[in-house]
Amino acid sequence: VTIRNELQHVLEQNALQLFYQPIFSAKDHTIVGVEALLRWQREDGSYVSPAEFIPLAEDSGQIIPIGSWVLQQACSDGVRLQEYGDFQVAVNLSSIQVHRANFIESLKHTLNLTGFKSSKLNLELTESILMEDSHQAIRILDALRVQGFSVSIDDFGTGFSSLSYLKSLPIDTLKIDRSFIQDVISGKHDAAIARGIIAMASQLDLNVVAEGVETAEQVAFVEEAGCHYMQGFYFARPMPFSELICFIQNYK
């Protein structure tokens, strides 16, 4: 059986799970939210990375039911998470989901069903989603803002959008791709790029998240550069919801 064939049955087999990775304030290292990251566990116990199966699901159209499942699961977990603190929940979206005619309606439906608040849901879009059709993108972003959602640009720096283009978009947060954070200590150029993105984003009143922070040196660097939030293995790896609750309860 190929992965493509197996993928057709993931939903009926309850083979999908959401892991959560906490996001921290650079100011005081408190937890401000979590990012939901999809995991597929196959029958033999092995995990398939979303980097591998999301593109297949996008090709087959299965990204629609899978994406709906992700949103519903993240929102119902988000409601339970509110018992432990005032946390944002970030969800990654595919271009195909966002460009569907009923996208906003289905989001509202999920909130009604779960009781989660739009102000607590952060939608992570990639630069490419916004570049494909910028007029359409602005319409969608405006509608999301009216509904009270916040929007992040994920993997920032890997696409080709300029900060001046972003200025025209109603978005809240930039997530600097971890490829830039990886080499901020050893690479002069990556350090300059990361510093530049953080400084300009701050000037544009955008929040900045440094992704993939793995070492104390990187933490010190991004804090010094004025980054607002941090996420990465240095603080916490993505983990199942039950572990997240333990992590939050035991965290300082």
Closest-CA residue to 33 (of 97, 67, 84, 70): 84
Kindly determine how many residues on this chain lie close enough to bind ligand G according to the rule CB under 6 A: 21
Question: Contacting Mn ion (CB under 5 A), which of 21, 154, 178, 229?
Answer: 154
Under DSSP, is residue 239 helix (H, G, I), strand (E, B) or coil? Answer: strand
Rounded least distance, CB 109 to Na ion, Å: 27
d(CA 20, CA 33): 9
Of the listed pieces 155-163, 166-174, 201-209, 227-235, which binds Na ion according to CB under 5 A? 155-163
* Contact present, 238 and 222 (Cβ < 8 Å): no
Q: Does 51 bind ligand G (CB under 6 A)?
A: yes
d(CA 78, CA 76): 5
Question: Beta strand 207-210 with 229-230: parallel, antiparallel or unpaired?
Answer: parallel
Question: Contacting ligand G (CB under 6 A), which of 31, 54, 184, 197?
Answer: 54
d(CA 72, CA 246): 22
- Determine the residue with CB nearest ligand G: 232
For helices 241-250 and 63-81, the axis angle rounded to 10 degrees is 30
Rounded least distance, CB 204 to ligand G, Å: 21
Q: Per CB under 6 A, which of residues 204..223 are in contact with ligand G?
A: 211-214
The tokens for 215 are 């070492």
Rounded least distance, CB 115 to ligand G, Å: 21
Q: Does 154 bind Na ion (CB under 5 A)?
A: yes
CA atoms within 13 A on the CB side of 32: 15
Q: Residue 72 is inside which H or E element, if any?
A: helix 63-81
* Contact present, 168 and 141 (Cβ < 8 Å): no
Of the listed pieces 25-33, 90-98, 148-156, 214-222, which binds Na ion according to CB under 5 A? 148-156
Of the listed pieces 17-25, 61-69, 101-109, 208-216, which binds Na ion according to CB under 5 A? 208-216
Of the listed pieces 109-117, 148-156, 161-169, 216-224, which binds Mn ion according to CB under 5 A? 148-156
Question: Contacting Mn ion (CB under 5 A), which of 62, 73, 92, 94?
Answer: 92
Q: Does 62 bind ligand G (CB under 6 A)?
A: no
Kindly determine how many residues on this chain lie close enough to bind Na ion according to the rule CB under 5 A: 3
Q: Which is nearer to Mn ion, 203 or 207 (CB)?
A: 207
Residue with tokens 């939901």: 36
Binding site for Mn ion (CB under 5 A): 92, 124, 154
Binding site for Na ion (CB under 5 A): 154-155, 211
